[in-house]
Structure 1
Amino acid sequence: MPAHLFVDISSHGLGHLAQVAPILNELGHARPDLRLTVRSGLSNGILRARLSSAFAHIQECSDFGFVMLDAVRIDHARTAAVYREQHDHWKQLVASETERLSRLKPDLVLSDVAYLPLAGAAGAGIPSLAMCSLNWAELFAYFFGDQPWAGPIYQEMLSAYCGADRFLRLTPAMPMIDLPNLQNIAPVAALGRDCRLSLHERLDCRPDEKLVLIAFGGFEIQLPVERWPSIEGVRWLVPESWGVKKKDMVAFEPLGLHFTDLLRSVDAVFTKPGYGIFTEAACNGTPVLYLRRDDWPEQGCLIDWLQRNARCREIDEAGLVSDRVKVVLDQLWKQVKPALPIPAGAKEAALVIAGMLAN
């Protein structure tokens, strides 16, 4: 009977999938007989673009993280209301999750980074692993810890995370000082193929033309690109959904490249701080231009790590609609290339998972 792994992947953006996918792909090479069930609100197509092993898909969300106004702004009032509503029924939710996992009978539950499946696994007596660069309890305490109603909710969240056999803390990551079950893991990132020559041919680029990819991690955000100044020798690759009609901009989805291959093949990526895009850009040698997120505590550790491991520059929204964007891009490309970080975390985490499945 093949071992059965139940994986819960948050659909709060695409960064959680970017963390899990290299690990599951590494695990699939070592354990091709593994039975894999994936629960995620992400579409089957998005999952299959990243996961190389066969899996059964339960398209549901067991966490919401934060209610977002857009890619960089949180709806604090709505987020607080949803957490309060969820934890008014916490015991019933855990009981339902326990019953469901008992029926599915996985040998191990892996969560990035919902806490409900960890509580359900504990109730069902199933070993569990949490894994991420953050956890919702720490972020909840940052935003709502001073509220009189927040204490019991935080304790229920923290208890679920502490109930996991281990929490694999990916590098870079938030401190997570309240978790006694941490195991530090090296960076996790997918490595792409360099398709630069074919990409330039497809776009009929001049030899000295540079391509800058705009990628905001699965969140809808419409930047005022129509007001950006044109920069001689720079072409922007933008989401098709923006419907941009500008001669220096082209939609990237119709190019048909796997995202990581595209990321490796461009001259820079413009994004927000996020684990998946930062580690993948650094490990693939792609310079990063980033727009800081207001009031997002995870970004500090991510930016610190990126500054040590990649060429990167910050820009604000005002700079995007002025001539400053050209100056910042020129500064970015003149930076000395650091040694590429090695994404050894996928193999490390896969060994941990395989060891737990063997017990």
Structure 2
Amino acid sequence: MKQPAHLFVDISAHGFGHLAQAAPVLNTLSKRLPELRLTIRSGLPTDKLQARVMADFTHLQERSDFGYVMHDAVSLDLEATALAYRRQHADWDRLVDRDARLFRELQPNLVFSDVAYLPLAGAARAGIPSVSMCSLNWAELFAHFFAREKWAEAIHRQMLDAYASAECFLRATPGMAMADLPRLRPIGPLAALGNDCRKALRERLGSGKDERLVLIAFGGFEKELPIAAWPAIPGVRCLIPQAWQLTHPSVSDFEPLGLSIADVLRSVDAVLTKPGYGTFAEAACNGTPLLYLRREDWPEQDFLIDWLQTHGRCREISAGELLAGRLLPSLEALWRQAAPPIPTPSGAEDAAAVLLPWLGVSTRQA
């Protein structure tokens, strides 16, 4: 009896954006291949994975990358990040060997990474094909921040060699240039589409029909905002993570509402966030206006902002306005913008078409 195909998936835990990219692809694959065996390695909690990935999977709860050490949602700790990269690459061969042994043991048909490079190097050493996917890659960001450091060249070469060992790199739209990576294959936007639950959302909140709802979501990173000291925002209620444990007349927690984050995002009047792929793509593809706080020296953000300015409604808010709770002028200007045509999140189908042959299915069969 033929064994079902086995896909090993590595999802970065640097925020929730990598999960937001990978999950639509995994859900599309599982619909095409109901018997597909999924092993997911990620430092994200299992319940966060289950909220996005609809298929059954085995979870290996560990990280194979760390991305960047963050002070908060928009501020990088470059000194700690440099130290972390130097420690990891001082042990590089052992780490690659460890992954190679894991893959020889599990024998997946394919290793699929968003966007760690270590599993790609391990798969190559084990003789197992791999594919990477993301809107960014750690090698390009590493070069942006550390290329002038004497110790960086060897690390950067190992990163590039690992990415180059993959069969291809699926560059999500919008995405960075990635001129140093071979075998780039552009794919469409990756985004979950929520259900329009505006009526149910307002009923559960006891919200009036004229009250505007704004989701505050910083993509899995903490962002300390002095919300408790904000003035009341007339006609606006903000939905925040329950973990913030804040009380304010214009604020409610969104988790007790019993709706998925995609449904909440689809059903609110605006979302307030930092530039990050997951929320930007999902806001555009769900037709939700977006207010953003720029990140400090994050090279991906200009690609995201430029794309969203064409395909969605967005507006920048300054740190001073945000800290003071002066949201209303920016929100009103945002809501006055004309809505462009909503983009189609075709990236999951694009990616699945590339991955299916490695899982024993021709695109004609699919």
What TM-score, normalized by structure 2, do the two folds share?
A: 0.96
Task: Give the structure 2 partner of residue 165 of structure 1.
Answer: 167
What is the CA distance between 1:33 and its match in structure 2?
Answer: 1.1
Does residue 1:312 correspond to 2:314, yes or no?
yes
Please give the per-residue CA displacement for 1:123-175, whole angstroms capped at 9, x wherever unaligned: 01101000000000000000001101100000000000001000000000010
- Structure 2 residue ranges without an equivalent (≥5): 362-366
Residue aligned with 1:270, SS: strand
5 Å-filtered alignment, 1:129-208, equals 129-208=131-210
Q: Distance in 2 between matches of 1:36 and 1:150?
A: 35
Q: Distance in 2 between matches of 1:121 and 1:165?
A: 11
Residue aligned with 1:353, SS: helix
Task: Give the structure 2 partner of residue 108 of structure 1.
Answer: 110
What is the CA distance between 1:324 and its match in structure 2?
Answer: 4.7
Alignment counterpart, residue 41 of structure 1, candidates 37, 40, 43: 43
- The question of whether the paired residues in 2 share the 8 Å contact of 1:263 and 1:269 is answered with yes
Task: Give the structure 2 partner of residue 7 of structure 1.
Answer: 9
Task: Give the structure 1 partner of residue 34 of structure 2.
Answer: 32
Aligned residue type for 2:132:
A
Task: Give the structure 2 partner of residue 253 of structure 1.
Answer: 255
Residue aligned with 2:169, SS: strand
Aligned residue type for 1:95:
D
What is the CA distance between 1:239 and its match in structure 2?
Answer: 1.3
Residue aligned with 2:234, SS: coil
Q: Distance in 2 between matches of 1:159 and 1:88?
A: 16
Q: Distance in 2 between matches of 1:77 and 1:220?
A: 20
Q: Distance in 2 between matches of 1:229 and 1:257?
A: 28
Q: Distance in 2 between matches of 1:148 and 1:228?
A: 46
Aligned residue type for 1:89:
D
5 Å-filtered alignment, 1:1-359, equals 1-322=3-324, 324-358=326-360
Please give the per-residue CA displacement for 1:217-247, whole angstroms capped at 9, x wherever unaligned: 1111211112323221101111111111111
Bigger shift: 232-241 or 263-272?
232-241
Q: Distance in 2 between matches of 1:225 and 1:303?
A: 26
- The question of whether the paired residues in 1 share the 8 Å contact of 2:76 and 2:296 is answered with no
Aligned residue type for 2:81:
T
Residue aligned with 1:212, SS: strand
Aligned length: 359
Residue aligned with 2:71, SS: coil
Q: Percent identity?
A: 58
Residue aligned with 1:18, SS: helix
- The question of whether the paired residues in 2 share the 8 Å contact of 1:229 and 1:321 is answered with no
Q: Distance in 2 between matches of 1:337 and 1:212?
A: 17
- Structure 1 residue ranges without an equivalent (≥5): none
Aligned residue type for 1:307:
Q
Q: Distance in 2 between matches of 1:339 and 1:321?
A: 33
- The question of whether the paired residues in 1 share the 8 Å contact of 2:28 and 2:348 is answered with yes
Q: Distance in 2 between matches of 1:284 and 1:65?
A: 28
What TM-score, normalized by structure 1, do the two folds share?
A: 0.98
Please give the per-residue CA displacement for 1:49-107, whole angstroms capped at 9, x wherever unaligned: 10111111100100001111111111111110110011111111111111111111001
Residue aligned with 1:49, SS: helix
Aligned residue type for 2:82:
A
Q: Distance in 2 between matches of 1:175 and 1:143?
A: 16
Q: Distance in 2 between matches of 1:156 and 1:85?
A: 14
Residue aligned with 1:69, SS: strand
What is the CA distance between 1:18 and its match in structure 2?
Answer: 0.1
Aligned residue type for 1:115:
Y
- The question of whether the paired residues in 1 share the 8 Å contact of 2:227 and 2:325 is answered with no
Aligned residue type for 1:291:
L
What is the CA distance between 1:321 and its match in structure 2?
Answer: 4.3
Residue aligned with 1:278, SS: helix
